[in-house]
Amino acid sequence: MTSQDNLPEVPQEPVARTGMFGATGTGDTSGFGGLVVRRAPKLSTPRPYGGYFDDVADGLEAVLGEGYAEAIERVVIVGDEMTLHVSRERLLEVAGHLRDDPALRFELSLGVSGVHYPDDAGAELHSVIHLCSITHNRRVRVETSCPDSDRHIPSTVSVYPTHDWHERETYDFFGIIYDGHPGLTRIEMPDDWEGHPQRKDYPLGGIPVEYRGAEIPSPDQRRSYA
């Protein structure tokens, strides 16, 4: 029996990525050459979740009522981490309940970050919030997605004011537009910078560097290794 025989069945077609190790005719230096990445289906953990995760879900169900199924698209439990996938239309409402409801009390946000999944059709861009309840000593991840063709997600600065700079950084690097943000401008790249550098479709680009008389070409001009 080979290691391939132990792999779980994945209904989607695998995603093949190639790069500097085995690719030809490209300047891709990502190092993926020849590697086949198996894309798993979107996970959804059934109840009961175990631990305090059921208490969090129960608390949200209590305050959201019949709208719970519409607001919480799915829940994923991996190890000791809980991820709530929240629809962008209900994000502000859910965030407010997570912060203020006595049974939840996630009063501390650890920040906002972005992720780009080019193969996740209709949900290519994800905005991720990490919350901590000091009151109950719990953690939860809130994840909201939007299509690349409509890169709008509500700003949560009104709920967690410290998200101001975090949302600016996520906009800067991924291009997610946080509607309602008090001043959504770039925070690290120059104001006139084109594109969003942490997207997976962003060109490597760069400038050549001269070092001790030798010129090192920019990444997009480097040769591929067969």
pLDDT digits (tens, 9 = 90+) for 88-136: 999 999 999 999 999 999 999 999 999 999 888 999 999 999 999 999 9
Positions in the chain whose pLDDT score sits under 50 = 1-4, 7-8, 10-11, 226
Q: Rounded to an integer, what is the distance from CA 187 to the centroid of its chain?
A: 19
* Backbone CA torsion sign across 124, 152, 67, 54: positive
Kindly give the pairing relationship between strand 125-133 and strand 138-146.
antiparallel
Q: What is the pLDDT of residue 201?
A: 85
Q: What is the pLDDT of residue 40?
A: 65
Distance CA 214, CA 224 (A): 19
Q: What is the pLDDT of residue 3?
A: 46
pTM of the model: 0.78
In SS3 terms, 57-119 reads as: HHHHHHHHHHHHHHHEEEEEEECCEEEEEECHHHHHHHHHHHHHCCCCCCCEEEEEEEEECCC
Q: What is the pLDDT of residue 226?
A: 47
Q: What is the pLDDT of residue 193?
A: 87
Class of domain 45-201: alpha beta
Q: What is the pLDDT of residue 215?
A: 73
Quick check: 107 and 161 in contact, CB under 8 A? no
Quick check: 63 and 93 in contact, CB under 8 A? no
